[in-house]
């Protein structure tokens, strides 16, 4: 084939495939909208790029239910959510536009607290109590595990506080990165020490 023939073939393929791809995208949007309106979508999710890596964001009708770092394995996280919340999961970025916007603002340094509805159904008991306290640790501040234990009324439950932070399903948004060891060292973090350090540096702590 000569160049003119090659270009003609390519143009023909584009003409044939582009409308079909557009139709598929439009159909998908209609399906998402229909599922949303009918209340048959258990979980909406998307991903967003941040300075600490690609974050998975998942939400129920009640609010944001999960934030996951890449190292947690997003596919595995979605599989667990399917078991715990419901199997009707769909990638629907538009449902999480506000979440993405607030996270972008946080990493840009223009947002110091999140104003998002949260679904805390993945936690219960003492863990949920600790996780509900974490947003009260202000931007640019930290508390030790023992200070958190005292704040939630269980001064001896230092290890349990550590467990609650380690299993926090909403890192970044529910700021378990602001909890340090009594000697000021970082302790563990679900997103890794580099991510915890980056978040604290962003807030002017580290």
Query: Exactly one of 41, 129, 130, 176 is catalytic; which is it?
Result: 176
Pure H helices in the chain: 3-38, 74-84, 97-108, 125-133, 145-151, 158-166, 193-202
102-123 as b/e, with b when 16 or more CB fall inside 10 Å?
bbeebbeeeeeebebebbbebb
Whether 176 is catalytic is yes
- The per-residue DSSP string of 68-106 comes to E-GGG-HHHHHHHHHHHT-S-EEE-GGGGHHHHHHHHHH
**CB 27 within 8 Å of CB 20:** no
Which residues face 59 on adjacent strands? 44, 64
| Residue partners of 79: CB distance under 8 A and separation at least 6 | none
- Closest C-alpha to 118, from 80, 173, 163, 50: 173
| Residue partners of 12: CB distance under 8 A and separation at least 6 | none
Q: Which residues are catalytic?
A: 176
């Amino acid at each position: 084939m000569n160049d003119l023939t090659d270009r003609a073939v390519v143009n023909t393929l584009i003409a044939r495939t582009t409308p079909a791809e557009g139709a598929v995208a439009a159909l998908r949007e209609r399906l998402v909208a229909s599922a949303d309106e009918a209340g048959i979508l258990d979980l909406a999710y998307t991903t967003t790029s941040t300075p600490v890596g690609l974050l998975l964001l998942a939400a129920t009708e009640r609010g944001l239910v999960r934030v996951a770092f890449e190292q947690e394995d997003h596919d595995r996280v979605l599989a667990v959510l399917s078991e715990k919340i419901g199997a009707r999961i769909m990638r629907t970025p538009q449902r999480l536009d506000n979440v993405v916007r607030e996270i972008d603002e946080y990493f840009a340094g223009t947002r110091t607290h999140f104003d998002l509805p949260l679904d805390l159904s993945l936690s219960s008991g003492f863990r949920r109590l600790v996780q509900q306290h974490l947003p009260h640790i202000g931007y640019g501040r930290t508390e030790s595990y023992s200070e958190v234990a005292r704040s939630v009324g269980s001064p001896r439950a230092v290890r349990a506080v550590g467990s609650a932070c380690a299993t926090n399903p909403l890192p970044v948004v529910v700021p378990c990165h602001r909890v340090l060891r009594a000697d000021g060292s970082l302790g563990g973090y679900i997103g890794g020490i580099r991510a915890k350090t980056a978040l604290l540096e962003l807030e002017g702590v580290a």
